[in-house]
Amino acid sequence: MKKKITFLGIETSCDETAAAVIRENERGAAEILSNVVSSQISEHKKFGGVVPELAARAHLENIDYIIKTALAESKISLDEIDGVAATAGPGLIVCLTIGLNIGKSIAAFANKPLIGVNHLEGHALSPGLETKIEFPYLLLLISGGHTQFLIVKDVNQYEQLGTTIDDALGEAFDKTAKMLGLGYPGGPNVEKFSKLGDKKFFKLPEPIINKSGCNLSFAGLKTAVLRESKKIKGDNQMKYNLAASFQNTINSILYKKTKIAIEMFKKKTQIENVKLVVAGGVAANKTIRENLTKLSDEMKCRTIYPDVKFCSDNAAMIAWAGIKRYKKRLLDKINIEAKSRWPLDESAPYMKGPGLKL
Ligand code: KG4
Ligand code: ZN
């Protein structure tokens, strides 16, 4: 019988300390032997966002326990794993270094290969944990730090079609929640309170909607939310209306830009039966799922969403990316360094900052 590959994954790129033990099953998807995530929400709540030094300290305090728990729950000993995958970037350097260094130590101690995983590749391949998906597919990656359309051609092979030129989508949700005093974490709270509001109440802008292909922009929308939020003061119903209008505008932007991305994907790949994968923390949003499924149905595409527990940061997706890279012999040396910036498509133009031409 063919040996099933098993990996320990470690994730500390932002505010979740996570470890998981994942094994490839005979159907080419994953058996989740353990998936442990410790969220630092309570630590950062009072600051309304992630404070890097606090995050790093919390990782240091928890990581040992989280890895031990993941190994114990999996009932697998270090001897039985095939390798260690730890997130090496992009993210907060002070946080990444903690998980990566522990990963290096475990790999060296257990004499196993080490893979430094790109966190974005973890999100990109995450739907494969549940179902085998053939390459290529179109990926909309929407998280706290990134918003991108990519063609996923294979493991380690990505072509960027579009990206945000300013804020990431998760960041726009988090800032909106902060401006409206809806608490932290922002995204889930905006979704929750939007249900109580009138989504047509405020007319908000859709920046660069008719230009720059499937590139996106949210800064102007954020400024408009700030302007309106100052007018409504303590009126709760108006707050909910603004949250709902913001979310509705996001859905309108995503609908139009994803439509463009699907056309671009078809043209570049000559494939008509498009598979659209929506991954990353914001992909947990139900209204976004419904909106993109509607578009996808209209365009005769198939949408694939990872389970909500694999949308937000987790180590299962890191171990899974590790397994996929291991099978292609994409191993790393023990001196691999953490990187704060690490695009999946290194050849894509950098789309932020002054002088940007759209
Ligand atoms: O992928 P993720 O866990 O971390 C990063 O890699 O950044 O994404 C976190 C982001 C946060 O901005 C959070 O507010 C957002 O995902 N998020 C949501 C929802 N759940 C999480 N945004 C909108 N609606 C949600 N239900
Ligand atoms: Zn993430």
Task: Give me the average pLDDT of each 10-residue run along the chain (358 residues).
Answer: 89 93 95 92 72 85 95 96 98 95 97 98 97 97 96 98 97 96 92 98 98 97 97 93 98 98 98 97 98 98 97 97 98 96 93 70
Mutate to test the pocket of ligand 1, among 12, 179, 282 (most ligand atoms within 8 A of CB): 282
The predicted pLDDT at position 40 comes to 73
DSSP 183-236: -SSHHHHHHHHHTTS-TTSS----TTTTSSTT-B--HHHHHHHHHHHHHHTT-H
Question: Residue 250 carries which side chain, given as an amino acid letter?
Answer: I
**b or e along 273-310 (b: 16 or more beta carbons within 10 Å of the residue's beta carbon)?**
ebbbbbbbbbbbbebbeebbbebbeeeebebbbbeeeb
Through-space distance between the first and last CA atoms of the chain, rounded to whole angstroms: 55
DSSP 50-114: --HHHHHHHHHHHHHHHHHHHHHHHT--GGG-SEEEEEEESS-HHHHHHHHHHHHHHHHHHT--E
Residue that the structure tokens 């909500």 belong to: 308
Ligand 1 binding residues, C-beta < 6 A:
14, 143-145, 170, 173-174, 185-188, 191, 280-282, 284-285, 312-313
| Ligand lying nearest the CA atom of residue 171 | 1
Say if CB 98 and CB 21 are below 8 A apart.
no
Instruction: Return the domain boundaries, the chain.
Output: 5-130+310-327, 137-305
Say if CB 89 and CB 338 are below 8 A apart.
yes
Ligand 1 atom 3, closest CA:
312
Residues 262 and 303: their CA atoms lie apart, in Å, by 11
Residues 103 and 17: their CA atoms lie apart, in Å, by 13
Query: Which atom of ligand 1 is nearest the CA belonging to 91?
Result: 6
The predicted pLDDT at position 201 comes to 98
Residue that the structure tokens 């463009």 belong to: 260
Of 3.30.420.40, 3.40.50.2020, 1.20.120.140, 3.10.129.10, the CATH number of 137-305 is 3.30.420.40
Residues at Cβ < 5 Å from ligand 2 ion: 143, 313
Q: Do domains 5-130+310-327 and 137-305 have the same CATH topology?
A: yes
- List the CATH code of the domain at 5-130+310-327: 3.30.420.40
